[in-house]
């Protein structure tokens, strides 16, 4: 489990195809504080550490990324040079600063607008009709691994919806969200509570 509070930005240093893709991420973590088999969320995707190299502040962490994961995440995400939001798995006793995040991407959304206002960044993202019902004003959503609060929801005639987010300067600086532009695609994970409520509603008829 994760909370959607990003602790570092890394970048993909190399990708090697060997059945699954072996992806090596360079980041400022301490490899001595990470175990083989540990989980790290990479822009919202829970991956298992399979190799560790480097030193504190200059780590090289290897992950195996399956074809299934590639098919469900942003196209082109698993290429050398790509920046990733990183968050180690939640430890018992850690502060719950965001919301409960599983690291399982539900769908990919598209940035449909971006504007700066009062130092903050206002972004609107379009989500498919399959998942539109899970997005609610003042609810939580995970965008590229970042826990955010939905400010506004606009339903569209085709069943999709656009939801608005306010990215404060700190979040824009310490995550990849500050670099988003119109047309960019992002990994989305809906709130796990919304998923259960939708299931209850469906069974209740």
Long-range contacts of 199-202 (CB under 8 A, 24+ apart): none
Task: Provide the pLDDT for residue 1.
Answer: 84
Residue with tokens 């990733």, as numbered in its chain:
84
Nearest Cα residue to 86 out of 136, 132, 49, 140: 49
What string of H, E and C letters represents the secondary structure of 87-135? EECCCCCCCCCCCCECCCCCEEEEEEEEEEECCEEEEEEEECHHHHCCC
Residue 138 Rama label (left phi>0; alpha psi -120 to 50; beta)? left
User: Taking the chain (205 residues) in consecutive chunks of 10 residues, what is each chunk's mean pLDDT?
Assistant: 94 92 97 96 98 96 96 97 95 71 95 94 97 94 97 97 97 97 98 78 75
Give the model's pLDDT for residue 93: 62
pLDDT reported for residue 49:
98
What are the residues whose beta carbons fall under 8 Å from the beta carbon of 10, sequence distance 6 or more? 25, 26, 27, 28, 29, 42, 61, 83, 84, 86
Element (H, E) at 189: strand 185-190
- The alpha carbon of 92 is separated from its chain's Cα centroid by a whole number of angstroms, namely 22
């Amino acid at each position: 489990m994760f909370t959607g509070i990003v602790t570092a930005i890394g970048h993909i240093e190399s990708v090697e195809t060997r059945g699954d893709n072996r992806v090596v991420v360079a980041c400022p973590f301490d490899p001595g504080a990470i175990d083989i088999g540990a989980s790290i969320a990479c822009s919202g995707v829970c991956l298992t550490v399979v190799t560790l190299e480097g030193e504190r502040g200059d780590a090289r962490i290897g992950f195996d990324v399956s074809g299934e994961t590639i098919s469900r995440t942003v196209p082109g995400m698993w290429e050398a040079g790509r920046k990733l939001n990183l968050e180690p798995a939640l430890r018992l006793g850690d502060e719950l600063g965001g919301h409960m995040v599983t690291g399982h991407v539900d769908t990919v959304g598209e940035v449909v607008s971006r504007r700066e206002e009062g130092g903050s960044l206002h972004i609107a993202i379009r989500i498919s009709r399959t998942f539109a019902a899970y997005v609610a004003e003042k609810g939580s959503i995970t965008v590229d691994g970042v826990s955010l609060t939905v400010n506004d929801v606009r339903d569209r005639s085709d069943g999709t919806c656009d939801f608005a987010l306010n990215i404060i300067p700190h979040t824009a600086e310490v995550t990849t969200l500050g670099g988003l532009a119109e047309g960019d695609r992002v990994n989305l994970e809906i709130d796990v509570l919304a998923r259960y409520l939708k299931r209850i509603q469906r069974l209740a008829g």
